[in-house]
Chain A
Amino acid sequence: GIQVEQSPPDLILQEGANSTLRCNFSDSVNNLQWFHQNPWGQLINLFYIPSGTKQNGRLSATTVATERYSLLYISSSQTTDSGVYFCAVEGRGGGSNYKLTFGKGTLLTVNP
C-alpha cells in the first residue's frame, strides 16, 4: 500500500516563530488532508489539498502531486498550535481507494 512519511517527527518553537512541516508519499493520490490533533485528542481538519496551494489564516499548505509531497506552513506560531499534525492520503486504486493512510505525525510544541 501507499506509504506516508512526515518530517520532522518533533519540533519545538518559541511563540511567534514560523515552521514548515513536510509530508512525502510513495504513490499517486486522489486526496490529501492535513489534520491537527489537539491535546484533548480531537482531530481537526486543516486542509483538503490533493494539489495546489491553500491558505487559512496563519496556516497554508501546498501539494505538489507530481513530486509526491505536501508542505504545511505555520506562521507566527501560538501556544494553541501545539499538538500533533498529521498528513493523510487516499491512494489511487490497488485497494487504496477511500481509506486514508496516515503518516506518523509531527509533534509540535510551541513555548510561550
Chain B
Amino acid sequence: NAGVMQNPRHLVRRRGQEARLRCSPMKGHSHVYWYRQLPEEGLKFMVYLQKENIIDESGMPKERFSAEFPKEGPSILRIQQVVRGDSAAYFCASSPGSQEQYFGPGTRLTVT
C-alpha cells in the first residue's frame, strides 16, 4: 500500500508566478489535509478537504491560496502570484476518517 504521494518534491518559482502542489492520498483515505512548515513558525494547519468539499480552510491565507480535492485525481494546493514569504515546506496528510494522519514527503517551495 503506497503512502501519501506528493509532487513535485522541489519547486522553484519566481516572484509573481503560480505554484501548483499535488497530493495523492493513501488508498482508501478520503480525508486530505495540508500543512505548511515555515522556518521560524513550525508546522501549521492550512486546510482540510474531503472529496469535492472544503471542510475547514481556517488556516489558509485569504488571498492567493486555494485548494481542491476533485472527485477524480489528486488534491491540489495552488498559490498564485507567489512571494518570497511563501517559501516553505508544504506537507499533505491523509486519513480514512478522524483518525491517524499519515504525511507525505512534502514539497519544498523556493521563491526567487
Contact = CB atoms under 8 A, between A and B. Distances in A.
Contacts of A101: 45
B42 A104 contact: yes
Given A42-B103, A99-B58, 20 more contacts: A31-B98, A31-B99, A33-B101, A35-B103, A41-B89, A41-B105, A41-B106, A43-B91, A43-B103, A45-B102, A88-B43, A90-B98, A95-B56, A98-B48, A99-B56, A100-B35, A100-B45, A102-B35, A102-B44, A104-B42
Interface residues of A, number: 22
Interface of A: 30-31, 33, 35, 41-43, 45, 48, 86, 88, 90, 95, 97-105
| Interface of chain B: mostly helix, strand, loop or mixed | strand
Q: Give the one of A31, A41, A43, A97 with max B CB within 10 A.
A: A43
